[in-house]
Amino acid sequence: MTTVQKIKEIEDEMATSYHLGQLKAKLAKLRRELIAPSSGSGGGGGGGVGFDVARTGVASVGFVGFPSVGKSTLMSKLTGTHSEVSEIDFTTLTTVPGTLKVHGAPIQILDLPGIIEGANDGRGRGRQVARTCNLIFIVLDVLKPLGDKKIIETELEGFGIRLNKRPPAIIVRKKERGGIAITNTVPLTKIDHDEIKAILSEYKINNADVAIREPNATADDLVDVIEGNRVYIPALYIDAISIEEIDLLYKIPNSVPVSSKEWLNIDELIDSMWKALDLVRIYTKPRGLPPDYSAPVVLRHGKCTVGDFCNAIHKEIAKQMKYAIVWGSSAKHSRGQKVGLDHVLEDEDVVHISK
């Protein structure tokens, strides 16, 4: 029996079985083979040419969608990069990279091969979707946006990609002895102790401390934590539309209706992309000179200290720095503040490094 057949058998059993959590764990273990199959595995799909794209820019954005929904057209107009355009399914067979400069920051745009229903079961090229993207654009067909949205989300879930979510507040700490100890700081409304133990048993975890702080935690959340190979990526939904259809499609959460043909609403798309990537621009100020606003150092929120700023320019700078002077939102004074390596910078701060 192949991996895909085993998955189908478990999915059928899940519809009636009491031990739903244990079956979800079995299903996750099988899907793990499809996310990263071993050499010679029967999972199908192969390595695929063109997916090992060199990382450039400060962040990467992947275009995902069914064939012929306009991904290639939109990317070509945004970046000036030629991605073959056709009405025929699967025109784009390999990942095509391009670059879009936003607020002085180079953003890598990746036109990924089309997703088809069942791709997470090894069919088509869906298994090769880049899990390293910082943001995913899901391009929808305006004639059936909600149906396509659900299918694509299901496919990406099968790859271990969680869209517009954060990691569950669940900790599973293995130990040598003592059995299973479960604590929860929130009510368990969608999973109970028996189901938790059944899931742990499926993973041959007989001794562990489990702490649940996630409101409405589910069996899927616990499985995700144990698997440990999930990626949590923000997503925006793009609909290729006409002016008359804007109001309807704005009702989809995180949706940005655009028309690449008429160049409609592209500015909002770029603004939404910038906000979702959560980037921070920092400007340098050489001694005795005005700040250089032409080439910002771009960092990510959560990794935007003065030390991160120094390392982004050259690793030796942090070692040589005596102090830094910062102007902007993170500074206490408009005249500037003297700070150290641990100071957290904010968007559009200006920094002078004193050695």
- Asked whether the beta carbons of 190 and 216 are under 8 A apart, the reply is yes
Indicate the pLDDT class of residue 305, thresholds 50, 70 and 90: very high
Question: What's this model's pTM, rounded to 2 decimal places?
Answer: 0.74
CA distance 140 to 157: 17
Given a cut of 80, whether residue 82 has pLDDT beyond it is: no
Burial of 333-347, coded b for 16+ CB within 10 Å and e otherwise, reads eeebeebeeebbbeb
Does the pLDDT value for residue 69 go beyond 50? yes
Given its phi and psi angles, is residue 226 left (phi above 0), alpha (psi -120 to 50 degrees) or beta? alpha
Q: Tell whether the model's pLDDT for residue 66 goes beyond 70.
A: yes
| 8 contact partners, CB below 8 Å, separation of at least 6 | none
In contact, 341 and 306? CB cutoff 8 Å: yes
> Residue 306 pLDDT > 80, yes or no?
yes
> Does position 317 have pLDDT exceeding 50, yes or no?
yes
pLDDT at position 267, please? 87
Residue 263: pLDDT band with limits 50, 70, 90: confident
pLDDT at position 95 over 80: no
Alpha-carbon distances, residue 119 vs 65, 72, 125, 138, 151 (angstroms): 12, 20, 7, 15, 10
- pLDDT(45) > 90: no
